[in-house]
Structure 1
């Protein structure tokens, strides 16, 4: 009796699905094109569709989720649709027991400290998912014997890190490692207290600015010394390791900020406008850690201007694995390796007597743009105008890193789905070509799975950024790793194809306003601004926020009128007082729309498909400003154009390269090309700022002292 071979196609559907689930996402999408039977199986399998949708949204699954695949798929699609339309599934008001100037928002937990006698006496932690049910669960931890100056937390590890000042120690600070749930020493930490920043007699003061971040089993802390901002100390601890468990970078010229590009690379922003990439691996306390890899230039400033401050931020941090609060279903979370970074630049004119002339900008970039530093450095070393470039920089001798291919960071070889990164053959940065593969739309049709532009360098023109990479530069950066200065990567080689620029605002807190591949901020309702200019006393009465807020907004009951154009020169605004209202010359809290920008290539592709047939993607255009009388007025309008919008419910797709008029702050106007989708909410809210995570938006109302008065939560 003859036997017939059983083909894969004829296996039971359950077995076929089990096999397909083992494939990479790219192979799975290709299988959809093989035959109708495989296409039907893939389209009707909740597990396979959930895998595909996660890849499109640049998410990763929560392996401990108990939800069925059909429930996970429905949750993902509903939430992504809510983000796309900015139509939240629910909204509720969260009342705070107290306000404070230090706060943290991570993993569905919002913590805010309460100051007493110039120290943080206690911190209250609110479980945000519980507030949707009306319970609003919270926990308060007191610190009677610890002088807390800052804190951070990771709910996924039940970890709370307190930064405390030392008064009788050889180190300036102690990092206290505690359980977030109980305030007890964390059992996974061999040492519950980590000393940081060795004290130097006569040079250290207790009013240093401190920034801290947790990323998995490591903690990064930056101490920016107040003494003329000329010194800085950056240190990384592996908090689960026994001593010695840290490496550090000390700088005599200062460090403005830091951000982790991956789980083994970090980025330092220098005051002279240079972004430095470092790596660390193996034993954290090895004398070769961290290793200096490359420097990236920012656009060249005009001679009269200087960088005042540079801020870096991105969320979620590497190592984040999601957190399910009370009553929250966590089926997936944003990929820590596929996220957008924000860089805020504050530029000023030091020659002016008041010193308050600040021009804010913000640009967004994907970390892969900086992790491909070997390619950038090799391309820069072969540029035709290299000799002229070196002479203009004052460089007599320079060393170009030429590392082996097997030393490329692992994050540059694989993306978060485990797929090889696109080819890195040189191409024009403005060609508009993406790396692509097939994927399946909801209806089973085939399209392109767009990815970010492959970071590449062409033969750029000359850059006039004044950066000294003579041996004195390496003396300023006293890191124990590579000390040989490398030729910096010019802005023209990496910036225009891999970034998107906007004029900034002194009120935006980008550290909490970027999450995954999205950013959120607030823009003023122009009708509200016009009402204020007309002296309308009922300005705030129509806002939904005020109707639900039982606290009276009494701090804005008096003030002077703005100028007749409704704008105030940003030069007159001290940074410490920065908010949108002050920059616009208003004395009340204006209603604002919520604006979300999505840099996910798939979101851009879908938005383009949904455009009407006669529509086209738009450049970064804004409403024309009122007729202005003088160059000063035109300067004012230029820096508030991004803060004001005519209406809500607006959406646009921006795919073309745009050139921003920088008002002569930089040597040339800045071009950028990173595609995005912008959505503005239909409703307005009487709030000061917005924050976000993967499934909610927090709208914060603050008083004159910048303390939180209340928070509106929009659940997506």
Structure 2
């Protein structure tokens, strides 16, 4: 008996199917020939499948008035540029300032300088001008500034300043990114970090800090905090900066805690100096935010005489639900200055940098980086409960790496890449060279893509491969691209599924990926990326001037 759906006119069938997701459309193609033909001949439905296949989302804008066929063509060309590492435009210009403290969020590059903070909205569109579309400056007392971050979509600038008394460590100033005035949605324009509310307590922050913003939350990790001159520890503090009551919580770590990142709107991940991972989930109450310790994960076992030196996280916090991109309209001169696509928020990569040294020879030191998906980390909370119950003891047992990491991570030798800005969505980028003697020579770009869809073209996804230029042509090209680990210059190390020195257990290969190395070399010292650009930074010799070269994909 024929389905009533297949008896409808093709236009109505496509209208009904338009409510399905990309994955559901792919499965619907298997129902019958009528449904398959309707999907394959609908530009809108094919566009939905393409977005799902490449795990991209279209940033809401007036471009929706552009024909679907044009947007779909732009998506395929965009993905082809990344797949073949062939940029569509190259532009470069000097930045007026340079400094050790910087941020790159939502297309805005910010630098701290002696006279304050300098901001530049960098070009994004292949057809836009080859210079920043907007620049501005906020005066800040740099003698007391410690760090800063910002969230363009909320017009929020958070500046961490050293406190002028010793009853708390830092002052967090919540300001407008555009005007530098107190943020209109902040209940308190200044938050006090590591403040016990007692004038008899003494606090002094001697170590570095990390500040991060995710929606209504802002959090700071303060390392090496002295309390009353005789007690030192690391502290994590989090606020709901929009609430009508200053909701916050503080965690003190007696051992060194190096880094943290928001995993989701209600989960935090922290990394200790030994590389161990801890996950906290919190409940947002009206008067307080209550943390709940949900998982502890250990690093792989090491060979005799080897110890961890430090560990850090790379990758930006995931965006809150409903916030589809980091780009607000006020920063765009026009719609063309905004990116068209953004990686979907259902999953993103995180990078974990780990350095190990030999206790009998501290010059024998090696660094590694491993990648993992956020969703896998969130699922580990359930896995941890299955092994140890729902205990919330911060000093509870660690889940061994052989259980949680072997099939979920991918390891590589590392050369101290700034992974904070070299991981975006499903891709990573770094500069590589074969030279052991001249690390300052021009280097090539290495891009890794961990999107699982790009590795396999199986029916019914074959239609996407055909749209990308033909299945056989794509497969042939794929065979010509290395998918083995590329080590750091002169490391002499390779990562494989067996035991890798100095690890005492197999690391595994849990994340298939594609790699492509540019034929062209670039004279750059640092590289960053976002959804559609690769930024290459270099300094002019003998001049305190930073030059940025932008490859627009």
- The TM-score, its normalising length taken from structure 2, stands at 0.85
Quote how far apart the aligned CAs of 1:679 are.
Answer: 0.7
- Contact 2:264 / 2:317 at 8 angstroms: preserved in 1? no
Quote how far apart the aligned CAs of 1:26 are.
Answer: 2.9
Quote how far apart the aligned CAs of 1:291 are.
Answer: 0.3
| Pairs aligned (count) | 521
Distance 1:611 1:81 in 2: 14
- Structure 1 residue matching 2:73: 3-state secondary structure: helix
Larger radius of gyration: 1
1:321-348 Cα shifts (integer Å, max 9, x gaps): 3216333244431223310110000112
Pair 1:259–1:22, CA change in 2 (3 A): same
Residue 551 of structure 2: aligned partner: 714
Distance 2:232 2:515 in 1: 39
Distance 2:381 2:301 in 1: 23
Pair 1:18–1:706, CA change in 2 (3 A): farther
- Contact 1:269 / 1:276 at 8 angstroms: preserved in 2? yes
Residue 399 of structure 2: aligned partner: 489
Pair 1:230–1:502, CA change in 2 (3 A): farther
Quote how far apart the aligned CAs of 1:658 are.
Answer: 2.7
Distance 2:231 2:301 in 1: 22
Residue 216 of structure 2: aligned partner: 217
1:559-608 Cα shifts (integer Å, max 9, x gaps): xxxxxxxxxxxxxxxxxxxxxxxxx443x721111111000101122599
Residue 291 of structure 2: aligned partner: 290
1:89-147 Cα shifts (integer Å, max 9, x gaps): 10100310011111111111111111x3xxxx311111112794034221111124983
- Structure 1 residue matching 2:25: 3-state secondary structure: helix
1:174 to 155, 171, 176: 171
Quote how far apart the aligned CAs of 1:281 are.
Answer: 2.3
Quote how far apart the aligned CAs of 1:169 are.
Answer: 5.9
- 1:593-608 correspondence to structure 2 within 5 Å: 593-606=444-457
Does 1:300 find its partner at 2:301? yes
- Contact 1:156 / 1:321 at 8 angstroms: preserved in 2? no
Pair 1:189–1:519, CA change in 2 (3 A): same
Residue 340 of structure 1: aligned partner: 349
Structure 1, gaps ≥5 residues long = 382-399, 404-481, 530-583, 624-635, 643-656
- Contact 2:167 / 2:202 at 8 angstroms: preserved in 1? no
1:226-271 Cα shifts (integer Å, max 9, x gaps): 7799621112222211232222221111211112222211111122
Pair 1:263–1:707, CA change in 2 (3 A): farther
Residue 122 of structure 2: aligned partner: 128
Residue 411 of structure 2: aligned partner: 501
Quote how far apart the aligned CAs of 1:219 are.
Answer: 1.4
- Structure 1 residue matching 2:244: 3-state secondary structure: coil
- Structure 2 residue matching 1:276: 3-state secondary structure: strand
- 1:479-558 correspondence to structure 2 within 5 Å: 482-483=392-393, 485-506=395-416, 508-524=417-433, 526=434, 529=435
Quote how far apart the aligned CAs of 1:179 are.
Answer: 1.5
RMSD: 3.3
Distance 2:17 2:239 in 1: 41
1:590 to 416, 441, 444: 441
Residue 468 of structure 2: aligned partner: none
- 1:139-538 correspondence to structure 2 within 5 Å: 139-144=136-141, 147-168=144-165, 170-198=167-195, 204-225=203-224, 231-283=233-285, 286=288, 289-315=290-316, 317-319=318-320, 321-322=324-325, 323=327, 325-326=332-333, 327-350=336-359, 352=361, 357-377=364-384, 381=387, 400-402=388-390, 482-483=392-393, 485-506=395-416, 508-524=417-433, 526=434, 529=435
- Structure 2 residue matching 1:710: 3-state secondary structure: strand
Pair 1:78–1:276, CA change in 2 (3 A): same
Distance 1:15 1:281 in 2: 45
- Contact 1:262 / 1:337 at 8 angstroms: preserved in 2? no
Quote how far apart the aligned CAs of 1:317 are.
Answer: 2.7
2:529 to 679, 684, 692: 692
Distance 1:668 1:90 in 2: 45
Moved more, 206-215 or 30-39: 30-39
Pair 1:707–1:597, CA change in 2 (3 A): farther
Distance 1:279 1:511 in 2: 22
The runs of at least 4 aligned residues of structure 1 exceeding 6 Å deviation read 199-203, 226-229, 616-619, 703-708
- Contact 1:236 / 1:246 at 8 angstroms: preserved in 2? yes
Distance 2:18 2:54 in 1: 18
Pair 1:272–1:122, CA change in 2 (3 A): same
Distance 2:95 2:142 in 1: 25
Distance 2:541 2:225 in 1: 25
Distance 2:88 2:59 in 1: 22
Does 1:82 find its partner at 2:81? yes
Distance 2:541 2:499 in 1: 32
Quote how far apart the aligned CAs of 1:295 are.
Answer: 0.7
- Structure 2 residue matching 1:659: 3-state secondary structure: coil
Pair 1:13–1:140, CA change in 2 (3 A): farther
- Structure 2 residue matching 1:303: 3-state secondary structure: coil
1:15-74 Cα shifts (integer Å, max 9, x gaps): 333321212333222222233443333233333222212211222333444333333322
Distance 1:686 1:19 in 2: 53
Quote how far apart the aligned CAs of 1:616 are.
Answer: 9.0
1:40 to 37, 41, 57: 37
1:611 to 452, 467, 475: 475
Quote how far apart the aligned CAs of 1:277 are.
Answer: 1.1
Distance 2:275 2:341 in 1: 37
- Structure 1 residue matching 2:178: 3-state secondary structure: coil
Pair 1:95–1:285, CA change in 2 (3 A): farther
Distance 2:200 2:549 in 1: 47
1:408-463 Cα shifts (integer Å, max 9, x gaps): xxxxxxxxxxxxxxxxxxxxxxxxxxxxxxxxxxxxxxxxxxxxxxxxxxxxxxxx
- Contact 1:599 / 1:676 at 8 angstroms: preserved in 2? yes
Moved more, 25-34 or 271-280: 25-34
Residue 107 of structure 1: aligned partner: 106
Pair 1:64–1:401, CA change in 2 (3 A): farther
Distance 1:346 1:133 in 2: 42
Distance 1:24 1:500 in 2: 29
- Contact 1:342 / 1:364 at 8 angstroms: preserved in 2? yes
Distance 2:551 2:477 in 1: 33
- Structure 2 residue matching 1:219: 3-state secondary structure: strand
- Contact 1:700 / 1:708 at 8 angstroms: preserved in 2? no
- Structure 2 residue matching 1:77: 3-state secondary structure: helix
Distance 2:286 2:496 in 1: 42
- Structure 1 residue matching 2:302: 3-state secondary structure: coil
